[in-house]
Amino acid sequence: MASRQLSPEQIRYQEERKHENKGPMILVADSALIAVAVVVVILRFVARAMTKAGYKADDYTIVGALVRIVSGYSVSPASMLIRG
């Protein structure tokens, strides 16, 4: 696989913006999407309970995935703060 070289204009653009911190914007977007995911999963479990449909393997898989996402997210803000 050939490596791609940056043009002088691209290098200058990157150098001019190397101190811009997009971390806070990324944290807000990630937090909002994770909050939506948590609400949707909670509503799914409420709907299953109200309809007495019972919980199946897919419900437990969704909880596992949600736990994985939230636990991975808890590491992300720390790394952004450290690296800036």
CB-count exposure of residue 77 (10 Å: 0-12, 13-18, 19+) = middle
Confidence class of residue 58 from pLDDT cuts 50, 70 and 90?
A: very high
Mean pLDDT across the stretch 43-50?
Answer: 95
In a domain, 1, yes or no: no
How many domains does one find in the chain? 1
Domain that holds residue 61: 21-83
Question: Model's pTM, two decimal places?
Answer: 0.67
Mean pLDDT across the stretch 61-74?
Answer: 87
In a domain, 79, yes or no: yes
Confidence class of residue 81 from pLDDT cuts 50, 70 and 90?
A: low
Q: Which of 58, 62, 57 is nearest to 40 (CA)?
A: 62
In a domain, 6, yes or no: no
Query: What confidence score (pLDDT) does residue 46 get?
Result: 96
Query: Which pair of tokens denotes residue 68?
Result: 């994985």
Query: What confidence score (pLDDT) does residue 26 get?
Result: 80
